[in-house]
Structures are given as structure tokens and as C-alpha cells.
Amino acid sequence: MNENIVNAVKVIKEAILESQSQVLRNANCSLLSLYYGIGRFVSANSRKGTWGTGAIAAISERLQKEMPGLRGFGERNIKNMRSFYEFWSPLIDRQPSAADSDSAAPVPLDAIRQPSAAEFDLEAFLSVGFSHHVEIMAKAKTFKECFYYIDAARRCRWNKYELREHLKADDFHHEGRLPNNFAATIPAPRQAMAAIRAFRDEYILDFLNVDDIDATSAEDVDERVLENSIVANIKQFIMAFGRDFTFVGNQFRMEVAGHEQFIDLLFFNRELNSLVAVELKRGEFKSAYLGQLHLYLQILEDQYKKPHENPPVGIILCKSADKAFVEYAVRDFDKPMGVATYRTSEEMPKRLRDALPPIDELKRQLGGEP
């Protein structure tokens, strides 16, 4: 057996046993500290050529034999620990003990000084699980983007699969960018900001079959096909829209002065404490859509809003929209409205398509299977 492998296994094994014997106030912080320390040790030895080719695989195999039942130390995950260390070490003010690359001992991340980057929230960093960190490192391009997803994962308590959906949807570049009139129509600033954060300017509806939407068919027929597809996949649609949305119904019937009106999709948002009317349009945004949506919001407010609820919010979901034109068109309406666009998986950039989970895994997730 290669002496480097034997020594490496001994060092990592001692680090694991030491970590398991400690009683720490935060188990997740303990694991991150352990993985960071092992990642530092593996990085120092594997990157400098101290270990030969296949060393990490051999270390993993030997660990499994010497510590039966050990989980999380496969070859891939040990490489993830190395990536975790290499990604974050430039921003972490390491203590003297953390500078010793010959040790794989846990680095006391909860005792480090606050890193100099103003955006870095150490509490949030330590509250997010390692699998979340791995997902974020694989998809996010900048530290600022990583901080965004770490904070969101903590606040919203996303599991790994929910986080993956939000990474796929590229929330960082789309949240809060919906063209809208919320600031002018929602009197309470905090409520207006909540509404702005609740919606994105673009949604990835990867369950839609573009072949079902015929550009040559009548617009109302085509929009009904789009609506039916969303209703048939309502769980996925809500996952794309946000976890605080509850589906009320489609083709929601209302009547005023003897005239029937139908809202394509009606939701309730728990955070906003508001009904949310969504109108589906297959093509490009038209200013006339706002008048129709404004009428629906007026009827909802007069006839359906509960006394304790906030005013209804309206969203037009269409295939394309000129944001500058939307901002101009919506500004004189006195009901809170915004315009978002959607795209299907076939139209997604390759980097976003690559973020999609395997179809079998997605089916298990949506079917509630473990």
C-alpha cells in the first residue's frame, strides 16, 4: 500500500473520529468545519503532486473499509470538499490552526473573524447544509450570486431540490426585475417591496410542450392549451412561481352587472396576503391586456377580497415583452400589476438546461417519492 495513501487515511480518519466525538452547538457548523478542513488537506496534497493519480479514489475506498457504515466520503464528495475549501478560502480569515495544510482537522468556522466582504453573512453561511453549498458552487458564477442563494436558502428553508429549481430559474438575475407599478399602487412600502420580491420577470416553464402551442391557431384556443398544460402541471408551476402561492382555480368565474368574467389562473399568496390573478398570453405583450386585468382586480377587490386581506395583485404572463414599454403602459393604472414572460426548456440557454435535474429524479421529487 502506498505510504502516502496510508498516512492520508490515518490523518482523515483521526479528523473524522475527533469531529464525531465533539459535542458542538451546531451540528451543521461542525460538518462544514470538518469538510473545510479535509478539503484544505486534500487540496494541499493533491494539487501539488504529493499524491499520485487515483489517490482520492483510493483514500475513499480505504476509509469505507476501515470505517464501515461511513457515509458522505465517496470519491466525488471528497473532491467536493476540496472544491468547498478552494472556493471559499480567499474570503475566510483563517485562524493559525487553519493554516496547517498537513492536518485535516476541522477548521472552527464559527470562530473565525467576519470576512472582509460586506455581503458575507457568516451566520447564513454556517446554517446552509453542505449539499446546498455544493449545488450553489456548481451553478453560481460569482461570490455575490452565491451569497444571494445562501441567504435565500436559509430564509425560505429550501431543500436541495427546491434550491436546484431556483438555481435553474436563475432567480439571482430575475427576482425583483418584474416591470410593475407596485411602488405607486401599494401604499405600505414594506408590502410593496414584498410584492416586488415575490415575482420574477421571467419564468422557466420546462413542462410545457411547445409543439402543443401552434402559432397559426386562434389566440384564444392557443391560450387555453397553455392554460390546460399549466393546470395539468400545477405543482410544477407553483414551484416555478414560488412556495408561498396556493392555487385557487382556473377560469375563475366572476359576474358584475350581468356580465361574466373569467380569470385564467387565480392564486393566493400567503406572504403578500393577497389574491393574485394571472392572465396568460401566448404572444407579445399588448397594452390592451392591462385594461382587462385592471377590471378583474377591481371585481376581486369589490366582491372577493376578505376584510383582513391586502388588495389583489395582477400578473400578465406572456411570451415576450419590452420592459421599457411595459413600465410606461402600466404607470397610470391604480391597481397593482406587473408583466412577466415565460420560456420553455427548449428555449433555455445551455447553461440553464444543464442545471435541470435528471428526469427520473424530477419525477421522484414531484411524485413525493423518497
In the predicted model, what is the mean pLDDT of residues 172-192? 89
Q: Tell me the pLDDT band of 197, cut-offs 50, 70 and 90.
A: confident
pLDDT value for 17: 76
pLDDT value for 115: 60
The pTM (predicted TM-score) of the whole model is 0.62
pLDDT value for 9: 85
Q: Is the pLDDT of residue 368 over 50?
A: no
Q: What is the pLDDT of residues 309-359, one digit of tens each?
A: 999 999 999 999 999 999 999 999 999 999 999 887 655 555 444 544 444
Q: Tell me the pLDDT band of 288, cut-offs 50, 70 and 90.
A: very high
In the predicted model, what is the mean pLDDT of residues 265-278? 95
Burial of 199 (0-12, 13-18, 19+ CB in 10 A): buried
Q: Is the pLDDT of residue 140 over 50?
A: yes
pLDDT value for 227: 84
CATH number, span 174-365: 3.40.1350.10
Count of helix runs (H) and strand runs (E) in the chain: 17, 6
pLDDT value for 307: 94
Among 50-64, 177-191, 216-230, 333-347, whose mean pLDDT is lowest?
216-230
* 68-74 long-range Cβ contacts below 8 angstroms, 24+ apart: 70/16, 73/12, 73/16
Q: Is the pLDDT of residue 131 over 80?
A: yes
Contact between 245 and 268 under an 8 Å Cβ cutoff? The reply is: yes
Q: Is the pLDDT of residue 269 over 50?
A: yes
pLDDT value for 73: 92
Q: Is the pLDDT of residue 77 over 70?
A: yes
Q: What is the pLDDT of residues 94-116, one digit of tens each?
A: 544 445 667 787 777 776 665 65
Contact between 347 and 209 under an 8 Å Cβ cutoff? The reply is: no
Among 60-64, 95-99, 108-112, 265-269, whose mean pLDDT is lowest?
95-99
For residue 352, give the nearest of 243, 205, 199, 147 by alpha carbon. Answer: 205
Domain boundaries, the chain: 3-157, 174-365
In the predicted model, what is the mean pLDDT of residues 46-50? 82
